[in-house]
Amino acid sequence: MKDAAFPSRHISIAINCNADDVYAFASNPANLPQWAAGVSGSVRKSGDNWISDSPMGEVQIRFADANSLGVLDHDVTLPSGETVYNPMRVFPNNQGSEVVFTLYRQPKMSDDDFEKDAQMIERDLQKLRSILEEKQK
């Protein structure tokens, strides 16, 4: 079965804030514009989805239901109609937490674009850490 799975990269960051607090903040779509560069404007609720302006145009975001396992998975439907699944987790790391985002390389994505996406996600996670650790002070 050729190409049955996308190539992937796991991008993680340790945050000096407990996992419950990280989950509570990161799972609230209204907070996305504070830390996720792909969500450049406001976020508004529309049924089970959230709608946001992005550098690519308007996108729809649908998050996993609230849970106690730290699952922050979300689907992003692009202006083209294509939906991209984004696995994301937060879990305890001693007194702090670890956030892991799995980036899938999409079909026809160049090496350069895959690397740029990974760098953007890393910056987003660093921003998330900065916001949450500042709140801890």
- Residue 1 falls inside a structural domain: no
- Residue 69 falls inside a structural domain: yes
- Residue 66 falls inside a structural domain: yes
**Which is more confidently placed, 39 or 28?**
28
Judge whether residue 41 has pLDDT over 80: no
d(CA 134, CA 107): 38
- Residue 86 falls inside a structural domain: yes
pLDDT in tens, 64-98: 999 999 999 999 999 999 999 999 999 999 999 99
The CATH number of residue 58's host domain is 3.30.530.20
- Residue 47 falls inside a structural domain: yes
d(CA 97, CA 114): 26
**Which is more confidently placed, 37 or 100?**
100
Judge whether residue 123 has pLDDT over 90: yes
As given in the structure block, the two tokens for residue 73 are 């998975």
As given in the structure block, the two tokens for residue 118 are 């990974």
pTM of the model: 0.91
Confidence tier at 38 by pLDDT (50, 70, 90) = confident
At residue 2, the pLDDT reads 61
At residue 40, the pLDDT reads 67
- Residue 63 falls inside a structural domain: yes
At residue 35, the pLDDT reads 94
Please, what's the b/e burial string for 58-92 (b: 16 or more CB within 10 A of its CB; e: otherwise)?
Answer: ebbbebeeeeeebbbebebbeeeeeeeebbbbbee
Residue 65, domain extent: 8-136
Average pLDDT over residues 88-111: 95
- Residue 62 falls inside a structural domain: yes
Which DSSP letter does residue 29 get?
G
Tally of structural domains, the chain: 1
d(CA 88, CA 99): 7
Average pLDDT over residues 18-47: 90
As a whole number, the mean pLDDT across the chain is 92
